[in-house]
Structures are given as structure tokens and as C-alpha cells.
Structure 1
């Protein structure tokens, strides 16, 4: 097990907590883009069904998705673009915008683009998209097929926060980091769970996995989380590399049986991974893009 220092994507005033990482090697695979899929079953609200844990492949009923098949602006019925440049408690350098220069659809993909562009006192712009207030997810499997950026100081993330964050605050609401990547380590991803009764008691546990060949910037990969009652499992390309249960949060409450919303973003710099190099040419060329083919939520019948 290996400790790692991760700061939250939520309000980022995280203090260091107890953490553990199990490092597992993984030879990931890719798949053909956009296979035919069934029409999603209408379901505007989160459901507490599917509490029993099933195998990854048993979650076959598509409940909700965004295939990003349009062009231009994101679907405002599914996503909200958060804004701000406060550093997010982690000394990040970007300003999150609502601009279609930073988040847009093209060629069947969502593009989240970090640009070297001055705005509101910040030297970079990017986007952070959330389903909060539009769709929450409880038990089932979430798949995000994405191609990640790379480079010193680039921080793409696919993650979730408890939908009760406005009532219970972070980290009591819980945080599920489905995937995070340090741009200077483009062949390695992390999955981490954050919990605790307050920022003073913040704890986290997680795992990392490494591609045997190439990087996550070379091709699309499927990043998944499966949630059942009292258990969370993290996957890449259908292969499990981390499991987390109620015993992991003791003596603190286990918040992960509640509804959560999804967040997609690309951050620039900060305490988690350092800033883009200003002295080494081409260490971090801009713009940087995270390409997302789809976000899908499945349950078993």
C-alpha cells in the first residue's frame, strides 16, 4: 500500500488525511467507438434499486446517457458549467468558464479544453461540467469513455459528489474519484474515495493502476464505477482495480449509499501535481483536451 496526496475537486480546502493506494499493473484495452446501444429507459430521478452487488457485465439496462452526438454547446438539460477562478482551495491556475471555447461537442465527442488564456486574473481557462440538480445516480454502473490529455500540470478528472453536499457539506457528503490523472504521469490513473465528518477529519483511500504500454492520451479508455449497497468498485476497460466497503470508513459514517452527481473537468496546476513548466519548452503545450465519447449509467434488470 502506498500513501498519496490528493486534494478534492469539490471546494478544495482539503487537509491531508490518512490514505492508502494499492498499485496494480493493468494492460488496458480499447473498443470500437460508439457501438449501437438501446434507447435509454426514461428515469428522471435516482433510484435505490440495484442494491445487490453484481458482476460488471450484468449491468446491461441503459438508464441514462449523454452520447455527445450534437455540435456546439453542451446539453443544458443534462449539464451545468460551473464557473470561477478562486484556485478551488488547491492553488489551481485555471478559470472555469461557460464558453464554448472550453466545453463543446464535435464529431460525436464532448471536448473539455484547457487553454492558455487570461481571464479574471488567471492565465488559463477550462471547463467543469456537473449534473447536479439535473440528474443524480445511486446504485448501478457508470461508464465514461474518454481520451485524456497529458503534460506537466494537467489534471483531468471524472468524479462524483454526494447530492446532499449543500446540506451536509464536504467531505461528509462523500466524494468518489472515478478517475484522476497527473499529466506528467500519463500512463497512470487513480481512483479515490473521500469521507469524514468534517474537513478536520477528512480521510481518503484509493488505488492507482498503470498501463503496461503507452498512455491514456493515446486512445480512448472506459473508466467505470460500480456502486451497490455498502460497496464501490473501480474499473478501467472492464477490469477491476479497486474495491471499497463500509469497513473502510470506520469510525466515520459511510456516505456512499446516497445519490451522487457526476463531474467532468480539466484543471491546470495546483498542489496535487504542480504547475505547467514555464522554462522547458513543449513540456505542456496548449490547448489541452479531454475528449469524452459518452457518459452512461446502467443497472441490472
Structure 2
């Protein structure tokens, strides 16, 4: 995510479901997931290793997710963002087979700071190297909303992050590396983008990015995919690729993408938020990781 912490299908569906059930013991896709691209032609990654189908009702699965709430030094999230991230079910809950990550206009005081908006920032407690990630989601709507589904290296030195709390933090951003599977700015409705941040391209100087316009990003589910190998990072929506990162020279500046990364889901609120904005959610049907 751009300095935010300065901030089909070739095998039959029943075969995949059987293999997934063997692996996990309990894999049951949501009834709303029938149009999932459950495998990609020529993908080397077709064994499910982790997923959340967001079944049940109420709080998210604490075995899988950590709610990151600690403010950075200075009392605000980097980039002039104006929301609090909370660990409340008002901002993050599961219902009808979906994760609802909700941004709200409301006065909220935390850590000695009062802000006018709340949202949530989820860290996965699962980390991995190389694989295919599929997320079926609908995005929030509203000028000034900034939802993202992205990844950071477990070695990031960022107070309050899950893996930092576990003692993994050794490397400052952007040198740890960042992979943005999806970003969407409400001021540019229906345009979704992906980006790669590292020591050679970051902040206001990002060169490694691409995107596409899709229909009804906020009203219909779409499938956002990252395929991550030793050679490349490839990003697509509904099977249509819009960006690929594969530098000729892979060194510590251009390719810190050879160790474990974890997922982050969040909605940031920018200072130019529509004054009439009240509430909007990122709704996620499932997240699946294959290796």
C-alpha cells in the first residue's frame, strides 16, 4: 500500500473440493463462491494450504487474525490518514458467510487521540513464501476511502504489528518489501491497482505498479489474485492480468520477496473524505492460499 505505514480453469470443481477437504479436513466453500476460479491454467500452485471461508456469526477467528490498532509515533497513521483502527465487532465481524470490514464516520477516542472515523486493519497469523492467493471481495464506496488487500514481510519493524509483537521485526519499510494485491481509491471508483514496494521503488517514487478498470467493484464480488513465484509477482482480477513484476536483477533492493509474508486487510480514510460519507464496508467471501 502506498506508504500507508509511512503508512479456468482446467480441473473439475469436485476434484479440487475433494483435494482441499483431504488437506484441511473441513474445507467447505460458501454457497456464494460457486463462480470461484479454483485453479488457474498452468499454475504450479493448486494445493490449498490456508483459507478463511468466514463461516459463523460474530467476531472474526482469532486463531487466524490479529486486529492491529496501535497508532504510529505522532498519533496518526502515516500519509495524513484520519481514522482509528479498532478491534471492535462494529468494525470487523462475520455474517452470512462473509467478512465485513467496516469504515464508519463516528467520533472515537483511543490511545489519547480523538478521531472522527473508525475502521479496521487485520494481520493474518499465517505467513508463507511463494504461492497463489485468491480473495473474493466487494470494495467499499466513497470519495476518500482507501481499501487495500496487501502483504508485508514478517521481518518489518513496525510497532504494534502481529509479527513485530512476536519478535520478528528487524527491517524498516520499504526494505522489508511490500506486495499490494489490491488498492482502490474511492475518488477513482472501479479502478483497482497493484503495486510492489522495495528499496528500489517506494513512497512517492513507486514505478512498479499497474491496474485495470472493472465493473461494479463495490456492488459485485470479484476475484483478486496474486501468483508469487521465485521469478515473478503476477496480479489479476477475475483471471485478467494487469501487472507483472519480474526484475532482471534480483537483489536485496529489488527482490526481498524470498521469505515469509503475511496478509493485511484494511480501509484507510483520507483527509478528502466526502463529508456526507457515513459508512461502507469491504465484504470478503473467502481468502484462499495455494502452494
TM-score range, shorter chain: 0.7 to 0.9
Query: Cα distance, 1:255 vs. partner?
Result: 0.4
Query: Is 2:152 the counterpart of 1:161?
Result: yes
What TM-score do you get using the length of structure 2 for normalisation?
0.78
Q: Give the one of 263, 273, 276 matched to 1:276.
A: 273
Instruction: Output one character per residue of 1:238-293: Cα deviation in whole Å (capped at 9) or x when no partner.
Output: 221111013377782410122100000111114xxxx2133xxx4x3x21100000
Residue matched to 1:104:
93
Instruction: Check 1:195–1:105 CA distance in 2 against 1; reply closer, same or farther (3 A cut).
Output: same
Q: CA RMSD in A?
A: 2.6
Considering fraction of residues, name the structure with more helix: 2
In the TM superposition, residue 215 of structure 1 has moved relative to its aligned partner by: 2.4
Per-residue CA deviations over 1:76-112 (Å, capped at 9, x if unaligned) read 1110001145332111111000000000000000000
Whether contact under 8 Å (2:201, 2:207) holds in the other structure is no
Aligned counterparts of 1:198 and 1:191: Cα–Cα separation in 2: 13
Of the three residues 16, 21, 35, the one matched with 1:39 is 21
Counterparts of 1:201 and 1:250, CA distance in 2: 22
Q: 1:63 aligns with which of 14, 30, 49?
A: 49
> Structure 2: where are the runs of 5+ without partners?
8-15, 25-39, 157-168
Contact in 2 for aligned 1:195/1:254 (Cα 8 Å):
yes
Gaps of 5+ in 1: 1-5, 13-34, 43-53
In structure 2, relative to structure 1, the CA distance for the partners of 1:66 and 1:170 (3 Å cut) is: same
* TM-score w.r.t. length of structure 1: 0.76
Q: Runs of at least 4 residues of structure 1 off by over 4 A?
A: 54-58, 197-204, 248-251
In structure 2, C-alpha distance between the alignment counterparts of 1:251 and 1:84, rounded to whole Å: 29
How far did residue 168 of structure 1 move? 1.4
**1:240 to 2:235 alignment:** no
Matched, 1:113 2:105: no
Alignment of 1:1-301 (within 5 A): 7-12=2-7, 38-39=20-21, 41=23, 55=41, 57-85=43-71, 86-120=75-109, 121-131=114-124, 134-165=125-156, 166-196=169-199, 203-211=206-214, 214-247=215-248, 252-270=253-271, 275-278=272-275, 282=276, 284=277, 286-299=278-291
